[in-house]
Amino acid sequence: MKKIIFAIYPSLISIFPILFLFSRNRGELWIPDISFPLFLAFILPMFLFCIIQIFTKSESKASIITISTVILFYICRKLDLSFPFFIGVWIVLSAIVGMRIFRESREKFLETINKLFAIGSCILILFPIISIVTLSSQESDSSIIQLHVQNQSCPDVYYIILDEYAREDVLMMIGYDNSDFIDKLRDRDFYIANKSTSNYAWTCCSLPSSLNMSYVDFFDGMESL
């Protein structure tokens, strides 16, 4: 049982950044988008643990070396290094930490560190999971809401999009004052989004995104734009 726990918790730490980013970008990512990265992030630390455990003959050392390697991987990725340099720095740092842990003779001390890491990883992974489940339930509830029109004499809706036309404060930066146009729209009870921004820089993407009230990254051919 101890070996299973020591083998799994580095994988929990490994998948945490993926789940965290997914929970913070729930409207832009789908579960299939993260399934393969999740699979790799979960399996590779377990594979590394098994390899290190064969050489060290110690589950405690193998687990700490594995979790150190995982943490160093994410730290090095944040340093904005070129890929070859990133790999080199990561391997060197992992080797230095690994050798220091390998020489540690206090097995009870290592087991205590592992237990703390295991408890911490379980608590840590709960936060994005709870967030994902909560957001999913909210989306499910909102999807079954039915809107009933009480008044059949609804007003006409005019959605005016001035293609490649900057908003008022941006135009003022280049010395053009279109406040007269904006004021006349407001006088006619038009709603003006003062700080509006486009989802995309191209009309072919921006307009469908606006009308569908969603990003259109999932459409075929978006990669070529």
Q: Are 41 and 70 in contact (CB under 8 A)?
A: no
Q: Is the dihedral of CA 52, 54, 55, 57 positive or negative?
A: positive
Residue 219, pLDDT score:
64
Residue 144, pLDDT score:
47
Tokens of 2: 């101890």
Residue 55, pLDDT score:
85
Residue 2, pLDDT score:
67
Q: Using alpha carbons, select from 64, 47, 60 the residue that is nearest to residue 98.
A: 64
Query: What are the residues whose beta carbons fall under 8 Å from the beta carbon of 49, sequence distance 6 or more?
Result: 6, 7, 10, 62, 63, 66
Residue 27, pLDDT score:
66
Amino acid at the residue 22: F
Segments in the chain below pLDDT 50: 142-146
d(CA 11, CA 188): 59
Residue 43, pLDDT score:
93
Amino acid at the residue 1: M
Q: Is the dihedral of CA 8, 13, 18, 23 positive or negative?
A: positive
Residue 39, pLDDT score:
93
The structure's pTM equals: 0.56
